[in-house]
Structure 1
Amino acid sequence: MRVTGPTEITTAGGTAQFTATVTLSTGATEDRTSAAQWSSENTAAATVSNSGMVTAVADGNSNIVASFGAVRGSAGLSVRVPKRTPDPPAGQRLPLPDVRAFIQQKNAERPELLAQSCPGGVKYRSNPWLDYIVDELRKVDTRWGYNAKPSRGPADNGGLPVIAAGDEIAYNYGPGPDQGSRDVHLVDILANHCGNPPSLTWRVFTGEEPGIWTSLGRF
């Protein structure tokens, strides 16, 4: 029996439908999702209904198992619920997390993306490389996001609207919602951006210029 479904769920309470198929002696396949007996080997991480609907509970790994008579199949699932550092006490700010080694590790895992960090030669816009880095950082702490770069305009961006800095990250160090917050640590993480070749860097410039936290509508 073949069990299929997503390999990861990243929200507590998130659901995903798993399916179970068998291969008949004729070579044809048949959907046995509704007839199979379903179970999760780690219900602390995820549970599964009689119909194969999986619900994420908390961080952890589980095998989602489907059985039909003597036939059995399973698929692995990881539950990774994003974390968030609690708000600071009144009048204080959170320190900037040192994620240099983390960024270096993630960049090394997807080296092909660095060449996509300046699509079309336009600097102040999102790009596949930065999207990937921000997504990975948000698995550690959802306070990470993009810098909307309010100090720049179309004249700095080839006549195009400024979307966000394509080489910077922002961390909301204050209380309240992230979106639109000006309480941000700012870090330049890419040297020679739009140059050949770009390379990783770590330059904190919090307070040197205004910054605005943005999700770019991605999360």
Structure 2
Amino acid sequence: MKLVAVSAGLSTPSATRLLADRLAESVRGELAALGHDVETDVVELRGLAVAIANNLVTGFPPPPLAAAIDAVTGAGGLIAVTPVFTASFSGLFKSFFDLIDPDALAGKPVLVAATGGTARHSLVLEHALRPLFAHLRAVTVPTAVYAASGDWGSGGDAYTEGLPARIGRAGGELAALMAARPADAAPEDDVSALERRLSDLRFD
């Protein structure tokens, strides 16, 4: 079973990459508890920025970019994490997914996440990321994860759920959908089946 995380972070070190790693670790642990072996790959878009721009102009991906696209389209589950720029996903993040065949993510379980300096931008998950993956006919898990600067190291309080708890919840949801998806599922066969599975699942 293959899990791929896409990180569009631009800095080093990157909070976006850190969130991608934490989410992947959560999913991996949940799948292990369900008795599944999982191979994890992280696609760092920062190093592919020039290749992505050239591909948009020429229509031909160089080998490293082609390998990244193949990893994403061939994954059993996907984690997609972007920093927030101008109240939306980054241009690098959107440009990469513009290169994905419109049908390649159909039925694929996806966990969406974002990082930003302030909690005010958390709605980017709902007004930008979910619509993007809905257009690609992916199946996004109920819990999306936003991490503001102040969330790191915070356990939450009586009124809010801390970042570790949100990561754990989202990781459990993606793991459950990946475990429920047949390894040889075809997009036209499993979109509605996964959506039915999603509606049946109860997450505590």
Give me the TM-score of the superposition, normalised by structure 1: 0.23
Give me the TM-score of the superposition, normalised by structure 2: 0.24
> Relative to total residues, which structure has the larger helix share, 1 or 2?
2
> Relative to total residues, which structure has the larger strand share, 1 or 2?
1
